[in-house]
Structure 1
Amino acid sequence: MSTSESRNRVVANRGGWLSGRTPFVILGAVLFVYVCYPFVAFLWRLDGFDSAAATDPATLSAVRYSLTTAPVATVLATVFGVPLAYVLARSSFRGKSVVEALVIVPLVLPPVVAGLLLLTGFGSLTPVGSFARSVGIRLTDSYVGIVLAQTFVASPFVVITSRAGFAGIDDQLEEAARSLGSSPVGTFWNVSVPLARNSILAGIVLTFARAVGEFGATMLVAYHPHTMPVQIWVAFGSQGLDATVPLVVLLALIGFSVVFALQALGRTPTLTR
């Protein structure tokens, strides 16, 4: 078959694929347009962008707190979440389903409820909060409080995606490494983690994005100092929609960066095995 004939057949197949799936394309296009429309409507308002608002001290402070707390929350979630994911993927024990369910619960809870739970556990009048205060650490309305809220709501992402990555590894590869003298920890670092690398990285990226965008739990646990989502709410309530533009644009850019990072990893993280 000649090159031109092959090309014509490919074009014909593409046309047939589209014509045969027109109903799916139409239905999918409805959702696509619906998702894109708010972005377009918001960008249409950028003619009212106030450049002074972008350099406002409150705005800069919110950006600083969000971009310094989210990485800390992401590191904490990764350091403790990846080993947990490995245990869930490779072990069977009584109550495992309960542990897995509890790990996922922060994803399905309304953020405000997550904040209330954190307040009952780490509030200033709780035993943990009182002890922390006695050693000079504030767990609410502080940098630490922001990290606590972000870690609670965002950590499930790295656990779930990492677990899926570990579960997809042929356990015979790990057994082979153990038979060659590798310790369990050595096998984890040298075999399991490299093979599950894409899933782990996807979870890290999603965790960071969720931490940056966290609002409800952070507002209850650490209203002060303001993070970007909290500052957006404050600016909207006091000055209107136009005052929120700088922070909204920045958060949108972070969101797009997350999407591109996930695409660069070459896979989409899944929530189940």
Structure 2
Amino acid sequence: MSGTDALPIRRSNRTVELLVPALLGGLILAYFALPFVAFLSRTGAANITAGLSTPETQHAIRNSLITAPIATAISTVLGVPLAYVLARRSFPGKRLVEGLVVLPLIVPPVVGGAMIITAVGRFTPIGAAAAAVGVPLTDSLLGVVLAQTFVAAPFVIITARAGFGAIDERLEQASRSLGYGPLATFRNVSLPLAHGAILAGIVLTFARAIGEFGATMMVAYNPRTMPTRIWVDFIAGGIDAIVPLALTLLAITLVVLAAVQRLARVPTVIDR
């Protein structure tokens, strides 16, 4: 049998080998898609415009659009340098630091919120001191930012670390050999080369922050954000009551997904 004749046979065998994995993967994809289809099918029964025009809903949207970018900015400014250190240096206690970075991803958000309260709640020394000067750390927009930062910051740290780790260190060494200091090398070499991963981490951090519910509910149930407002509306009026705000949050999520696919290496993973 010639090589040309054997090629269709190999392709056929490969198709058979992939059939079972494809069927199993199709089941989980169907499970992912079903809730979206079922939820979107209810939009016709809800008055979207009226739902979004209520003062409570508008305040929730405003609060989320204020706090999530702030939490993302804090996570980026503090997290990217940490990511670089973790990618480039070995030091005593590094595993402990890595564990602390991952911990907020593992701890249930409600438990994370309880932990934040024990650290900065109004009856703690830090919380009492902040409240005494008129800056309450709980039940305030600042409390929302604290909760969002706690649960979302690991995304930018982990993603940026992967980006820095993929850079050839010889490029940074070449910059240093030309007389540039550590900060100049970081700004002119490391950041530009890792910008795709960093931007993806920033976008993912924003998505996690704006959708955060558990920790936010514990630390700052008031003022409402979109997730906490959705919960209140669901308790009061069921599924139809939350459709307008839920669609708004879903739209933001879809924009985030599109941004991740454009900015990061995620598309190469998905396409495979």
Do the two structures share a fold, i.e. TM-score over 0.5?
yes
1:238 alignment counterpart = 236
Residue 47 of structure 2 corresponds to residue 41 of structure 1: no
After superposition, the C-alpha distances for 1:67-112 in whole angstroms (9 at most, x for unaligned) are: 1100000000000000000011111100100100111100011000
* Percent identity between the two aligned chains: 54
Residue 35 of structure 2 corresponds to residue 22 of structure 1: no
2:183 alignment counterpart = 185
Distance 1:110 1:82 in 2: 24
Report deviation, 1:193. 0.6
2:265 alignment counterpart = 267
Report deviation, 1:19. 4.8
Which residue, out of 57, 60, 63, partners 2:58? 60
Distance 2:256 2:10 in 1: 34
Give 3-state SS (helix, strand or coil) of 1:21's partner: helix
Report deviation, 1:260. 1.0
Give 3-state SS (helix, strand or coil) of 2:128's partner: helix
Distance 1:43 1:237 in 2: 20
Report deviation, 1:234. 0.2
Q: CA RMSD in A?
A: 1.9
Which residue, out of 101, 104, 107, partners 2:102? 104
Distance 1:19 1:116 in 2: 51
Distance 1:34 1:18 in 2: 24
Residue 36 of structure 2 corresponds to residue 31 of structure 1: no
Which residue, out of 248, 251, 263, partners 1:250? 248
Distance 2:131 2:27 in 1: 53
Provide TM-score, normalisation by structure 1.
Answer: 0.91
1:143 alignment counterpart = 141
After superposition, the C-alpha distances for 1:110-148 in whole angstroms (9 at most, x for unaligned) are: 000000010011101111111111221011110100000
1:6 alignment counterpart = none
In the TM superposition, 1:92-171 aligns within 5 A as 92-171=90-169
Distance 1:56 1:217 in 2: 25
Task: Assess if the C-alpha contact under 8 Å between 2:199 and 2:264 holds in 1.
Answer: no
Give 3-state SS (helix, strand or coil) of 2:258's partner: helix
Task: Assess if the C-alpha contact under 8 Å between 2:200 and 2:264 holds in 1.
Answer: no
Report deviation, 1:25. 1.4
After superposition, the C-alpha distances for 1:221-260 in whole angstroms (9 at most, x for unaligned) are: 1010000000000000011110100111111111111211
1:7 alignment counterpart = none
Where do 4+ consecutive residues of structure 1 move more than 4 Å? 10-20
Distance 1:82 1:12 in 2: 50
After superposition, the C-alpha distances for 1:173-202 in whole angstroms (9 at most, x for unaligned) are: 111100100010000010001111111001
Distance 1:14 1:60 in 2: 56
Report deviation, 1:21. 1.6
Distance 1:111 1:124 in 2: 20
Distance 1:69 1:195 in 2: 29
Report deviation, 1:16. 7.2
Distance 1:223 1:12 in 2: 62
Distance 1:259 1:16 in 2: 35
* 1:168 counterpart letter in structure 2: A
* 1:55 counterpart letter in structure 2: S
* 1:224 counterpart letter in structure 2: N
Distance 2:20 2:147 in 1: 43
Gaps of 5+ in 1: 1-9
Distance 1:180 1:232, change over 3 A: same
Distance 1:78 1:119 in 2: 23
Provide TM-score, normalisation by structure 2.
Answer: 0.92
Report deviation, 1:266. 4.6
* 1:246 counterpart letter in structure 2: P
